Every structure is written in C-alpha cells, then in structure tokens.
Amino acid sequence: MQRFAHSLRKDRQLPPLFLNMGPVALCVTSVVLICLMAVLYLSQVGQAVDANRELERIRQEQSSYTQQNQDLIEQLAEEQSPAYIVKHAQQQGLQPADPKNVHPIVIPNLQPIPGQSRP
C-alpha cells in the first residue's frame, strides 16, 4: 500500500517543462512569450491613447457648450433689459399708456386676491 501511495505522489508531480527543453526550444518559447508580452503592451497603450483622444474630444465639447451657455446668458440679459423692451415695443408700434386715458374694467362680484392692495 505504501508503495502504491508513493507511486501516486510521483505521478502527481509533473516535472517543469522548461527543464526538459533543449536550448533551441527554450529560445523559441522565450521569443514567443516576449512577442506576446509586446502585443499585450501595445494593446494597452492603444487603449490608453484612444481613451485620451475621447477625453480630449469631451473637453472640447464641454468648452463649446460653456461658450454657448455664456452667449445665451448675455443674450438673455440684453433682451430682459428695459431699454431693449422699450425699443422693440416702439418698433412694433406700441407706446406707453396715458393714465388719463385708462379705463378700468369693473367685474361685478369679483373677490379680491388676499394680500393684494387695490389701486
């Protein structure tokens, strides 16, 4: 029984492959492994370059959107200014109302809005 157990242990232990290889086979295996490492390295570098390009594109897009936002804020501020409103109202033929010519409309049974003063 001990002899059988000892032979099983020997069978389980596989000798390292590179010890049984000759110098040519070892050299070829080394070159193949080095080439594989180089391919993996270049693949990683390529992915990093692609990610960097995408990041740069996104930054340029963000810069463009920031500029558009700033332009729209300036345009909104200009169009909300009283001078702009008066100018465009006059261009459309509107003019300020004369308080003497204003006739209020009286609506019977209308309840006043709480918290608002009557004119």
Tens of pLDDT, residue by residue over 5-26, are 555 555 566 566 656 778 888 8
Residue 55 lies in a domain: yes
Residue 4 lies in a domain: no
Residue 117 lies in a domain: no
- Report the alpha-carbon distance of residue 45 to residue 36 in Å, rounded: 14
State residue 9's pLDDT score: 56
Listing DSSP states for 26-49 in one string gives: HHHHHHHHHHHHHHHHHHHHHHHH
* Degrees to nearest 5, angle at CA 34 with 32 and 37: 110
Residue 97 lies in a domain: no
Report, in this order, helix, strand and coil percent for the chain, each rounded to 5.
Answer: 70, 0, 30
Residue 99 lies in a domain: no
Three-state secondary structure call for residue 85 = helix
The count of structural domains within the chain is 1
**Using one digit for the tens of pLDDT, what is the confidence trace for 71-110?**
999 999 999 999 999 999 999 998 888 888 888 888 888 8
Structural domain span for residue 46: 9-92
Residue 20 lies in a domain: yes
List all residues 6 or more positions away from 118 whose beta carbon is below 8 Å from its beta carbon. 112
Residue 84 lies in a domain: yes
Residue 105 lies in a domain: no
